[in-house]
Chain A
Amino acid sequence: MVAIALPITFAFAGMASAATLTSSDGTVTLTTTGTVTAGTPYSSGQTINISVTANTTMNNASLAAAGFPSGAVAIKALECADPNGDLADLPTKSTECQPDTVLSIPGAASDGSMSFTDYTVYALPDTVTFGEPSNGTPVCGTAPNFCVIGLFSNQSDFSKPHIFSAPFQITANADDGGENPGDGTPEVPYAVGLPLAAVAIGGGTLFLRRRKQRAA
């Protein structure tokens, strides 16, 4: 298991294009645009694309059952806080999302799939673009203050259908210019990463040597 997990979580900084983060249920995928540095957080002001596969939460039947006529309702994407980046801490009320980050589309497809292009992410609270005070809420940026994108049929009413992206991290900058864009994941500190790499390489070498000895 460790051998499989290491390459996924063990992202050293490096240039990449179209890096993705997918929610644990496989429904929501965040995709970077342009070239980004792998293993680093998004940069405030960076744009990403959001795609959603067919799902039963936001499909037409679900939205109609929630009271939207014929299931017709604009879908709104908002950036929210997800402390610790785990499912248990996903937002449960509107004050955990930042309304100024809204971007809307006229609705999901009947099967619940949808896409947003060029969604801009911000480290929150954001003073540069939204004029928030430095002690504003919600707070999302770097660990443990992870962010998620919420996709809502009614962002003021969490009893209505909504889904969340995978958690991501984002760093603030002086102008929300998206400088040094990343893939939304934490950069693994070399102090931690190098010893782990040494263990992995050493283990691999040992494994190969023993196999060679066995074969001989």
Chain B
Amino acid sequence: MRNRKLRNRFVGAASVCVALLATTLVVAGPASALTVPAYPSIGAYPRWFTANDSVSNIDRAAGSDTTFYMMQQLSDDYNQAGLYGCTLVGSGSGENAFCDHTTGGAPNYSDTTTTDTADNFDSSEELMGENDIGSGNGQQQLCGILPSPQKVDFSRSSKPIASNAGCSTLAEAGYAKDSVPVTDVQDINPAAFGAATGYEGKTFTALNQTFTPPAFPSNGLIGPVAAGWLPGDPTNCVAQGSGGSGPFCSGTPFNDVDGGTGTGASSVAYRLWCATDSTRITDWGQLTNLSAANNGGTAQTVGNGKPIGVPIRIIGVNKGSGTVATFNAFANSGVTGGGCSASPFNSNAASGQNPLSNDGYTGNLEIALENNASQIGDFAGANWPNDPADQAVDIATSLYFEGYGYYNTIPNAGTVQIEPGTGTIPTGVPAAYVVFLTNENGIVPSIANERSNNYPTARTLFNIWNTTAIRASAAGFLNWICDTNPVSGGGGSVTKGKDQLYGGNFDQDITNTIQQYGFSRLTDTSPELTAAKITPADGLVTPNATCSANLSITSTGTATVTDNAGTVPSSIGVGWTVTGDAGAGVPSGTTVVSVSGSTLTLSNAIPSSVTTIFFPGHPPVLSVTDPNS
């Protein structure tokens, strides 16, 4: 706070210098006029600056690991904007605790020419908590059914509001897109490290398995099984169709995983991650050894090939993670009560040297944090210390899944390394490998397929708040993330200010920060998809338009609709544009005509099938429960 005062003095001194400069530079051209901006509206949507002018309110978030780093940076941007917030009360009662809304006169009071009234005027301080990390945990802490050492003002989440969050009063704002591809490792040649003596000659069977696979090759030498290596192939083979120079592996590379609500217990995803009965896929040959020649004259589909004796290693992932929730929804394939239908998931997670024994979640020390494939190498190193050859087999046989954004932007998140210890990696053999992202249901992972929800595990990244306990400062921050600058013919409601540190506009900063982590930004102008596309193949509702203000409504097919939550928030203004899901039948150009009690009157009739209406260009937190903090 003392720094604030110093800064203000500095600004004052700088103003004198500027004035002198302006005098001396007048011959060079007109100087831009410096003006003190008007004192902004307080206690009001959408910025929700505190109604009592209090400053430095601290908002604490909990939950998602996936969004942690991105939200940290967005918080930094917002906090940084607060450096140029209001001028504080300088003495007496309320010193440094409130904006000086008294000294001087309207419309500026004691603010200065550098006061930023569009961003963090009341200098809220956003803190990204890390207690009991994971989207589900954050939602439960927000609802108060999971203990938290500190109050949670909003939760970060990489999954929508969960049915087990613990309260029915949560609301969500989806501000970015991501997806969760399966990964394998296709370019490792384990035989190049020597014989895997821990594996050689052993037979790997799982509980309830009804077939007896052949033993692991007796010489301990295998090639890249995920690329389609089969016994007899050169161990330096490459996947067919990969574009690499041969020799090519004779098997089918594992490039695609099928699953999702329409596929059921026979899906490959379900049989790999969820099935604990005889249908479980445990051997790489079942995925890649599909030719008629190798299967008694009849070519097989993925999941039904002839075993080759090389076990599949399923990497377990943190049960509280939204990434896990998303992927397990896909893997569970719509099976009621299926093995991936509920936390702690991970029923087939490998543990220790034998990936098919002692597997599952309980007591498993090999449960990875989400979104970081490098842990595969750590687990392999722990299973086989000082033994690169067996570590290489662990890596070559592992299946994991992770967020597309992290994979594309954080090199370590996609790289697995051998940890040789006192062992030796032969000269010329790489110690590090990049995991391969598979398709899901034939769809290539891409941001376009995330935004369209075509990719089965496309997901929306949310901030979630409790409508019965939302402070003005937190609401302002959440709306700031969602709101985008007005542009000709559309855009958001408030033009953000200049980032004084880097020189750009804060709205571009938000976009850049989200993209820096490989995500794609959603704003209060993002349109909703069609009802059919809002839910991708994993069965989780994955909306695109919740960064805009929206209401759950009942329509009778007329121009009058009813807010299902009761009284329509007074923030909603006459003239606001109204939309619905794409193709839902809300006429283009529909606007709010009037608001009364729980009723909204629109300029056009909307179909009775419409259950949610959106107000594009207006961010989502329409009301707060504590306007003074």
Q: Does any Cβ of B come within 8 Å of A18's Cβ? A: no
Beta-carbon contact of A99 and B245 below 8 Å: no
Residue of A nearest to B484 (CB): A133
Choose from A104, A129, A155 the contact partner of B407 (Cβ within 8 Å).
A104
Beta-carbon contact of A74 and B411 below 8 Å: yes
Beta-carbon contact of B432 and A76 below 8 Å: no
Residue of B nearest to A72 (CB): B432
A103 to B244, CA, bound (A): 18
A99 to B511, CA, bound (A): 10
Q: Tell me whether A69 and B487 are in contact in the complex, defined as CB-CB below 8 angstroms, given that A100-B515, A131-B525 are known contacts.
A: no
Beta-carbon contact of B434 and A73 below 8 Å: yes
Which of B407, B411, B414, B488 is packed against the most chain A CB atoms within 10 Å? B411
A72 to B437, CA, bound (A): 15
Residues of B close to A153: CB separation below 8 A: 411
Q: Tell me whether A120 and B448 are in contact in the complex, defined as CB-CB below 8 angstroms, given that A71-B430, A72-B415, A107-B434 are known contacts.
A: yes
Residue of B nearest to A120 (CB): B448
Residues of A close to B527: CB separation below 8 A: 131
Q: Which of B63-71, B88-96, B280-288, B516-524 contacts A (4 or more CB under 8 A)?
A: B516-524
Q: Does any Cβ of B come within 8 Å of A118's Cβ? A: yes
CB distance from A27 to the nearest CB of B (A): 16
Beta-carbon contact of B408 and A104 below 8 Å: yes
Residue of A nearest to B409 (CB): A156
Choose from B245, B411, B523 the contact partner of A154 (Cβ within 8 Å).
B411
Residues of B close to A115: CB separation below 8 A: 243
Q: Does any Cβ of B come within 8 Å of A135's Cβ? A: yes
Q: Does any Cβ of B come within 8 Å of A102's Cβ? A: yes
Beta-carbon contact of B447 and A102 below 8 Å: yes
Beta-carbon contact of A70 and B447 below 8 Å: no
Q: Tell me whether A106 and B447 are in contact in the complex, defined as CB-CB below 8 angstroms, given that A69-B432, A156-B516 are known contacts.
A: no
Contacting B at CB under 8 A, from A92-128, are 95, 99-104, 106-107, 109, 114-115, 117-118, 120
Residues of A close to B452: CB separation below 8 A: 129
Choose from B243, B435, B451, B489 the contact partner of A130 (Cβ within 8 Å).
B451
CB distance from B501 to the nearest CB of A (A): 16
CB distance from A151 to the nearest CB of B (A): 13
| Cβ contacts B459-497/A at 8 Å (1 or 0 each) | 000000000000000000000000011011111000000
Beta-carbon contact of B489 and A134 below 8 Å: yes
| Cβ contacts A17-44/B at 8 Å (1 or 0 each) | 0000000000000000000000000000
CB distance from A93 to the nearest CB of B (A): 11
A104 to B445, CA, bound (A): 9
Beta-carbon contact of B520 and A106 below 8 Å: no
| Cβ contacts B169-213/A at 8 Å (1 or 0 each) | 000000000000000001100000000000000000000000000
Choose from B408, B485, B487 the contact partner of A102 (Cβ within 8 Å).
B408
Q: Does any Cβ of B come within 8 Å of A68's Cβ? A: yes
Residues of B close to A70: CB separation below 8 A: 417, 430-433
CB distance from A114 to the nearest CB of B (A): 8
Choose from B186, B447, B512, B526 the contact partner of A95 (Cβ within 8 Å).
B512
A70 to B520, CA, bound (A): 30
Q: Does any Cβ of A come within 8 Å of B57's Cβ? A: no
Residues of B close to A130: CB separation below 8 A: 447-448, 451, 520
Q: Does any Cβ of A come within 8 Å of B601's Cβ? A: no
A135 to B484, CA, bound (A): 12
Q: Tell me whether A109 and B432 are in contact in the complex, defined as CB-CB below 8 angstroms, given that A133-B485, A156-B409 are known contacts.
A: no
Beta-carbon contact of B245 and A109 below 8 Å: yes
Q: Does any Cβ of A come within 8 Å of B446's Cβ? A: yes
A180 to B186, CA, bound (A): 37
Q: Tell me whether A68 and B411 are in contact in the complex, defined as CB-CB below 8 angstroms, given that A99-B515, A130-B447 are known contacts.
A: yes
Beta-carbon contact of B437 and A104 below 8 Å: yes
| Cβ contacts B498-537/A at 8 Å (1 or 0 each) | 0000000000000010011010111101110000000000
Residue of A nearest to B520 (CB): A100
Choose from B244, B414, B488, B523 the contact partner of A109 (Cβ within 8 Å).
B244
CB distance from B513 to the nearest CB of A (A): 11
Beta-carbon contact of A129 and B430 below 8 Å: no
CB distance from A18 to the nearest CB of B (A): 16
Beta-carbon contact of A133 and B448 below 8 Å: no
A104 to B446, CA, bound (A): 9
Beta-carbon contact of B518 and A102 below 8 Å: yes
Beta-carbon contact of B411 and A73 below 8 Å: yes
Residues of B close to A109: CB separation below 8 A: 244-245
| Cβ contacts B426-464/A at 8 Å (1 or 0 each) | 000011111111000000101110011000000000000
A100-B447, A130-B448 known, 20 other contacts, Cβ within 8 Å: A69-B431, A69-B432, A70-B431, A71-B430, A74-B408, A99-B520, A100-B448, A102-B518, A104-B437, A106-B436, A115-B243, A129-B452, A130-B520, A131-B526, A131-B527, A133-B485, A133-B491, A134-B489, A153-B411, A156-B409
Q: Sort A-B residue pairs by CB-CB distance and give the 6 closest, nearest first.
A: A70-B430, A69-B432, A99-B515, A72-B432, A70-B432, A115-B243
Residues of B within 8 A of A (CB): 186-187, 243-245, 407-409, 411, 414-415, 417, 430-437, 444, 446-448, 451-452, 484-485, 487-491, 512, 515-516, 518, 520-523, 525-527
**20 A-B Cβ contacts within 8 A?**
A68-B415, A70-B433, A72-B433, A73-B414, A74-B407, A99-B516, A102-B408, A102-B446, A104-B437, A109-B244, A109-B245, A114-B243, A129-B448, A129-B452, A130-B451, A130-B520, A131-B526, A133-B487, A134-B489, A155-B409
